[in-house]
Amino acid sequence: MGEVYLAKDTKLERTVALKILPPEVASDGDRMRRFVQEAKIASSLKHSSIVPIYEIGEADGTSFIVMEYIEGETLESRIHSHPLPLNQILDIAIQVADALDEAHSKGIIHRDIKSVNVMVTPRGQAKILDFGLAKSLLSLPAEQMSELPTKAGTEPGIVLGTVQYMSPEQALGKSVDERSDIFSFGIVLYQMATGTLPFTGSTATETMNRIINAPPEAVARFNYAVPQDLERIIRRCLEKDPERRFQSARDLLIELQNLKRDTESAQQTVARTPARRTWIPFAIAAVLAAAIVAYLYLRPTQIIHSIAVLPFVNETADPQSEYLSDGITETTINTLSQLPNLKVMARSTVFRFKGGQGDPQKVGRELKVDAVLTGMMNQQQENLLISAELVNVKDGTQIWGHQYNKKLSDLIAVQQEIATQISDHLRVKLTGEQKEKFSTNSTENAEAYRLYLQGRYYWNKRTADGHYKAIEYFQQAIGKDSTFALAYAGLADCYLVDSSPFPQKIRYPRVKAAVLKALELQPDLAEAHASLAGALSFEWKWEESEKEYKRAIELNPNYASAHQWYGEILVQRGRFDEALDEMKRAGDLDPLSLIINATKGWVLYFAGQTDLAVAQYKKTLEMDPTFENAQFGLLRCLLLQNRYKEAFEMVDQLRGGREEFKIVQKLKNVYADSGANAFWQQLLEIQLQGWTEENPAGASDIAVTYARLGNKEKAIEWLEKAYSLHDSQQLPYFYVEPAFAPIRKDPRFQDLARKIGVLR
Measured distance CA(59)–CA(38) in Å, rounded? 18
The predicted model gives 375-400 an average pLDDT of 75
Name every residue whose Cβ is closer than 8 Å to that of residue 465 and which is 6 or more positions away in sequence.
none
| Mean predicted lDDT score pLDDT of the chain | 79
Fold of 3-68: Phosphorylase Kinase; domain 1 (3.30.200)
Model confidence at 432: pLDDT above 60? no
Instruction: Find the angle CA(73)-CA(164)-CA(4) to the nearest 5 degrees.
Output: 40
Measured distance CA(170)–CA(172) in Å, rounded? 5
Model confidence at 428: pLDDT above 50? no
pLDDT of residue 295: 62
pLDDT by residue (tens digit) across 646-690? 999 888 887 656 788 888 888 888 988 899 999 999 999 998 988
Measured distance CA(224)–CA(492) in Å, rounded? 10
Residue 429 confidence class, pLDDT cut points 50, 70, 90: very low
Measured distance CA(90)–CA(199) in Å, rounded? 22
Model confidence at 150: pLDDT above 70? no
The predicted model gives 360-364 an average pLDDT of 87
pLDDT of residue 390: 79
pLDDT of residue 313: 82
DSSP H helices, 223-248, are 228-237
Model confidence at 269: pLDDT above 60? no
Residue 19 confidence class, pLDDT cut points 50, 70, 90: confident
DSSP state of 50: B
CA dihedral 609, 615, 616, 621 (to 10 degrees): 150
For residue 219, give the 3-state DSSP assignment.
helix
User: Considering only 6-15, 358-367, 434-443, which range has the smallest mean pLDDT?
Assistant: 434-443
For residue 39, give the 3-state DSSP assignment.
helix
pLDDT of residue 424: 41
Q: Enumerate the β-bridge partners of residue 64.
A: 20, 57
Which region, left, alpha or beta, applies to residue 548 given φ > 0 means left and ψ of -120 to 50 means alpha? alpha
Model confidence at 146: pLDDT above 90? no
Characterize 620-654 residue by residue with b for buried, 16 or more Cβ atoms within 10 angstroms of its Cβ, and e for exposed. bbeebeebbbbbbbbbbbbbbeeebeebbebbeeb
Q: Between the CA of residue 128 and those of 44, 46, 93, 121, what are the distances in Å?
A: 14, 12, 11, 12
Model confidence at 145: pLDDT above 80? no
Name every residue whose Cβ is closer than 8 Å to that of residue 553 and which is 6 or more positions away in sequence.
526, 559, 562, 563, 566
pLDDT of residue 721: 92
Model confidence at 156: pLDDT above 60? no
Residue 292 confidence class, pLDDT cut points 50, 70, 90: low
DSSP state of 71: P
Sign of CA dihedral 24, 29, 32, 38: negative
> What is the percent of the chain with per-residue pLDDT over 70, rounded to a whole number?
77
Measured distance CA(239)–CA(183) in Å, rounded? 7
Please provide the CATH number assigned to the domain covering 275-441.
Answer: 3.40.50.10610
pLDDT of residue 366: 86
pLDDT of residue 592: 85
Instruction: Find the angle CA(502)-CA(703)-CA(735) to the nearest 5 degrees.
Output: 90
Highest-pLDDT range among 132-141, 403-412, 709-718: 709-718
Specify the higher pLDDT residue, 203 or 403.
203
pLDDT of residue 618: 93
The predicted model gives 613-640 an average pLDDT of 91
The predicted model gives 248-264 an average pLDDT of 87
Measured distance CA(615)–CA(595) in Å, rounded? 15
The alpha carbon of 247 is separated from its chain's Cα centroid by a whole number of angstroms, namely 27
Specify the higher pLDDT residue, 130 or 85.
85
pLDDT by residue (tens digit) across 293-321? 666 655 544 567 788 888 888 777 565 56
Model confidence at 404: pLDDT above 80? no
Specify the higher pLDDT residue, 292 or 353.
353
Residue 716 confidence class, pLDDT cut points 50, 70, 90: very high
Sign of CA dihedral 345, 350, 351, 352: positive
pLDDT of residue 616: 94
pLDDT of residue 611: 93
pLDDT of residue 665: 84
Q: For the chain, what percentages of helix, strand and coil (3-state, to nearest 5) are there?
A: 60, 10, 30
Model confidence at 140: pLDDT above 70? no
pLDDT of residue 411: 41
For residue 501, give the 3-state DSSP assignment.
coil
Measured distance CA(544)–CA(548) in Å, rounded? 6
User: Considering only 14-18, 322-326, 592-596, 614-618, which range has the smallest mean pLDDT?
Assistant: 322-326
End-to-end CA distance of the chain: 64
Specify the higher pLDDT residue, 250 or 505.
250
Model confidence at 142: pLDDT above 60? no
Q: Between the CA of residue 599 and those of 423, 557, 579, what are the distances in Å?
A: 39, 19, 11
Measured distance CA(243)–CA(251) in Å, rounded? 13
Model confidence at 508: pLDDT above 50? yes
For 76-124, the DSSP string reads HHHHTTSPPPHHHHHHHHHHHHHHHHHHHHTTEE-S---GGGEEE-TT-
Q: Between the CA of residue 752 and those of 84, 576, 636, what are the distances in Å?
A: 45, 20, 24
Model confidence at 161: pLDDT above 80? no
Q: Enumerate the β-bridge partners of residue 58.
A: 63
Fold of 74-270: Transferase(Phosphotransferase); domain 1 (1.10.510)
User: Considering only 52-66, 200-214, 408-422, which range has the smallest mean pLDDT?
Assistant: 408-422
For residue 400, give the 3-state DSSP assignment.
strand
| Contact status, residue 187 vs residue 219, Cβ threshold 8 Å | no
User: Considering only 4-18, 218-232, 570-584, 589-603, which range has the smallest mean pLDDT?
Assistant: 218-232
Return the H-helix or E-strand segment holding 16.
Answer: strand 14-21
Specify the higher pLDDT residue, 88 or 332.
88
Closest CA to 315 of 214, 264, 383, 366: 383
Closest CA to 81 of 197, 163, 189: 197
Q: What are phi and psi of 58, to 5 degrees?
A: -145, 140
Model confidence at 437: pLDDT above 90? no
For 620-683, the DSSP string reads HHHH-TT-HHHHHHHHHHHHHTT-HHHHHHHHHHH-S-SHHHHHHHHTHHHHHHH-HHHHHHHH
For residue 692, give the 3-state DSSP assignment.
coil
